Homo-oligomer: A and B are copies of this chain.
């Protein structure tokens, strides 16, 4: 096993679903080796024989898992029937403390489900959300796709969870914006109008932000429902030509008791390595603890009690 000595994710072990992704395990093993060279302690989870056959595959610790959840399988059904699926085994390693964070480029639905089922939620979390970091500005956008239909108060919790993530990323006092179709108060659909009133009480809230303002970095955290957020993210990716390794490499499932990161299915080694570094960093930064702290602080505030 490697023993990391340095890097901002120092001392954190990351479990990688090495069978997840369009080009796994070639890309996952190659990405893990890159991250290992940066001091990240990675454990590969998957078919041991196949992993060790990859270049450098014998240089990394491997936990065997005999099954794989395919991209087109129903996540819930697949997780139930495949008890030895790599994503399940990887999540179990995090759940039992053998690893500190989980990364997968496999089925997003299966990764979210395995994370929530095996690892569970951080205290105070009612509804986890996927947080993406936008290229260029580093803005945290959530929900980027976990829950397509939500009530207005969910967006307030997203704002708190997103702010916790932004502080882990080094933003001392995150500015929080509500994605909307106009900057003026009272704009938008019923969800946005109701959420705006609730968010007005929140420290750091800068009001409605239109897409142009989001891309210009007018807020550090931008909240919306998981349908609109996913459309915005995918539109940006399609307009720009997808992903890349200059960002965090993966979206983070906020609200899990330990970090769970979802990389693109077509992630290459550089993007996998970036995801592994981000996973180690947010684990070292106690992302889950900060999320719980911001949510529990909320429950003590008189206006929200």
Interface residues, chain A, CB within 8 Å of chain B? 145, 148-149, 179, 181, 188-190, 192, 210-212, 214-216, 225-228, 230-232, 234-240
Contact = CB atoms under 8 A, between A and B. Distances in A.
Contacts of A190: 148-149
Contacts of A211: 231, 234-235, 237-238
A286 to B, nearest CB: 31
- DSSP majority for the A interface? helix
A230 B189 CA distance: 11
Given A212-B238, A231-B179, A234-B212, A225 B149 contact: no
B238 A215 contact: yes
23 contacts: A145-B181, A149-B189, A179-B231, A181-B226, A181-B231, A181-B234, A192-B227, A210-B234, A211-B231, A211-B234, A211-B235, A212-B234, A215-B238, A215-B239, A227-B228, A228-B228, A228-B231, A232-B232, A232-B235, A235-B235, A235-B239, A236-B239, A239-B240
A188 B227 contact: yes
Contacts of A232: 231-232, 235
Q: Nearest 9 CB-CB pairs, A to B?
A: A148-B189, A212-B238, A211-B234, A239-B239, A211-B235, A189-B227, A181-B230, A235-B235, A215-B238
A232 B179 CA distance: 12
Contacts of A234: 181, 210-212
Contact of A225 (B189, B235, B239): B189
Given A181-B227, A231-B232, 15 more contacts: A148-B181, A148-B190, A148-B192, A149-B189, A181-B226, A189-B227, A192-B227, A211-B235, A214-B238, A215-B239, A216-B238, A231-B231, A232-B232, A232-B235, A235-B235
